[in-house]
Amino acid sequence: MRVAVVALGKIGLPLAVQFADAGHDVIGVDVNPMTVKAVNAGSEPFPGEAHLQEKLSELVPAGRLRATTDYAEAIPGAEAVVLVVPLFVNDETWEPDFGWMDAATRSLAEYLTPGTLVSYETTLPVGTTRGRWKPMLEEISGLEEGSDFHLVFSPERVLTGRVFEDLRKYPKLIGALSEEGARRAREFYEAALQFDPREDLPRPNGVWDLGTAEAAELAKLAETTYRDVNIGLANQFALFAADNGIDVYQVIEACNSQPYSHIHRPGIAVGGHCIPVYPRLYLSTDEDAEIVRNARLLNASMPERLVKQAEGILGSLEGLRAVVLGAAYRGGVKETAFSGVFATAEALRSRGAAVQVHDPLYADDELRGLGFEPYRLGGPADLAVLHTDHTEYRALTPAELPGVRLLVDGRAATDPALWAGVPRIVVGQGGNAKAGVTS
């Protein structure tokens, strides 16, 4: 098949590589000429994706994968077009911002030719595929969906860093606007993906047709919103536990020993491209979902809550040297999308602290580019806030933060034995019944 992939980001490029590796002729479109240049040189434009570089080194020289900035070069004659263009959410209104996706859809529609399957993989509010993309594609192309071309929603369900593994592990969900579109989508993805056997699933791993685009849209929103709500519940338990001298991690372990309980871990922040964003996309079409809204608000409040606890212990943060440990939104991943580091640093600055940030994955200049003053272990510090559960921080000691008077461990990642004698606030642990301090 001739396949076009629109947007060669951290999901789109591995998808393009997967399709090419399955034997198809793939061309990627991206608005960034530097990304296109890197791909055509067989070089990964971003680090950290397992097996991406080795596959690029094989597929690009073989002529199976190439990239362009020109839709006119990529779209005409493609049997399948897959879009993975980012969808943003307004931080103030929580409303989706379709700017980039609208632009990509218009450009695609200008060059759409009969017989093409168009698949959107970007997570969308329920009803978007049918109510927004279908009329836009039809109006601009002059073609009719269901006869001239076919439209499907098939959400990506992968994590950056392990995209190829996840593509094999999880069923590929599809939801089309017609029976023929569903048939075409099933044929395409079965010819482009391979699936690991999984005995834990109610039916064989593979392409799962959910019957409608709306069902597939809701499935992606629901599986991610569930995680945010679950973490919100864990954080609620953690706050209560800390106030009452209880170790919430023992409680969660005990609860989850029963097969109907699956409580997640609490933490200082929920970051990344997905979990903080998709509940807001869900709320854009179901504004009565108070459970979803309250969980999102609670999770977003955790940096402020923990910094306020630190202020209660130290009396004042004015003029103190505060170090935030970890800029990445999760351990081992060099990515700051919706990372809690920004809210944590702001909560410290608003109380007069001088804030520096450390992250083993980021160079000093990269941290400065994010708006932070870099910190190097061994420099003086009064207060440390562990934001990211990098493996390197598990063996951290007070000696590496000379002068530290308090550690706020927002991930329960440090070793209490190594911090004997130094007060610690550990999210969800309550050595001190009111402040959650252990030593």
Q: How far apart are CA 253 and CA 163, in angstroms?
A: 29
Cα four-point dihedral sign 40, 189, 162, 222: positive
Rounded-to-10 torsion of CA 286, 292, 294, 296: -110
Residue 418 DSSP label: G
For residue 324, give the amino acid letter. Answer: V
Q: How far apart are CA 146 and CA 41, in angstroms?
A: 38
Retrieve residue 47's tokens. 């680090």
From the candidates 55, 134, 172, 274, give the one annotated as an active-site residue: 274
Neighbours of 281 (CB within 10 A): 23
Q: Are strands 150-153 and 172-176 parallel, antiparallel or unpaired?
A: antiparallel
Distance set, CA 221 to CA 125, 203, 212, 262, 283 (Å): 8, 22, 15, 19, 10
For residue 329, give the amino acid letter. Answer: Y
Distance set, CA 353 to CA 191, 322, 386 (Å): 56, 6, 16
The residues facing 322 across adjacent strands are 355, 383
From the candidates 10, 55, 134, 220, give the one annotated as an active-site residue: 220
Q: Is 274 tagged catalytic? A: yes
Q: How far apart are CA 356 and CA 325, in angstroms?
A: 9
Q: List residues with catalytic annotation.
A: 220, 274
